[in-house]
Amino acid sequence: MGRKRIYKGENDVLDVFPAFTDLMSNAFMILSFFLLLALIESYRLNYNLADAIKKLEGSAKPILIDEQSGQFSFKSNSATLPIELRRYLLEDKIPEIAKVIETGNIDFIQVIGYTDSQEVNRAGNLDKKLDKVALNKEKVESLIPGSNADLGLMRALAIVQEIEKSGKIKNIRFQAYSAAQLYDQNGNIVEFNRKDDPKLRRIEIRFIPHGEKTKNK
């Protein structure tokens, strides 16, 4: 009787393989289903992100502030904002910035300062005072540029502080950068001629969407 049970048990063992195959097949189908769901969700998220960035790029082109756009220019070796520039910011550019921010897709805003290629032949003090100016403990006018890179940063910072002082742009981060005299209006590298060139003295405002890595010049 016992031996009969043993043979029956051996037959039962042999019958396990079809069941095991069915189990693995079902597990594979379930895993494939979840993988398909994950791929669909990934595609949906990527599509939504691409669509948001596309809409943002269409409505948030960089704002260029130069002599032609505002009937003004920075004075040579100066970051002081002319009266015309302050008015232009308040009446034209700040409302434009606020409209872009309403899309809700902006992470932060870059403000980039450009200069002409005239040499700055003096000792600067940005290493000593830049943090104080950035924290609004001192005015931009207290800074002395030691290079065009310094001067471009000072102009960008002056624009940032003027925008923030207006109180019309809130809950958004601004970052000031300098491109010095390196690029023209088309993004090409400038051949330095060391001349007074108001067209090169300008400000560019860029809107950085969520999830996009910053690409600074």
Amino acid at 69: S
Please say whether the beta carbons of 178 and 112 come within 8 A: yes
Which of 16-20, 33-37, 162-166, 186-190 has the least mean pLDDT?
16-20
According to the model, what pLDDT value does residue 156 have? 95
Report which DSSP code applies to 1: -
pLDDT in tens, 46-88: 766 666 556 555 556 888 887 776 667 788 788 988 888 899 9
pLDDT band at 19 (very low <50, low <70, confident <90, very high): low
Percent of the chain with pLDDT over 90: 31
Round to whole Å and give the CA distance between 107 and 104.
Answer: 9
191: left (phi over 0), alpha (psi -120 to 50) or beta: beta
pLDDT at 198 over 90: no
According to the model, what pLDDT value does residue 20 have? 66
pLDDT band at 187 (very low <50, low <70, confident <90, very high): confident
pLDDT in tens, 123-160: 999 999 999 999 989 889 899 999 999 999 999 999 99
To the nearest whole number, what is the mean pLDDT of the chain?
81
| Number of other CB atoms surrounding residue 48 within 10 Å | 10
Round to whole Å and give the CA distance between 115 and 78.
Answer: 10
Looking up tokens 């940005």, which residue turns up? 126
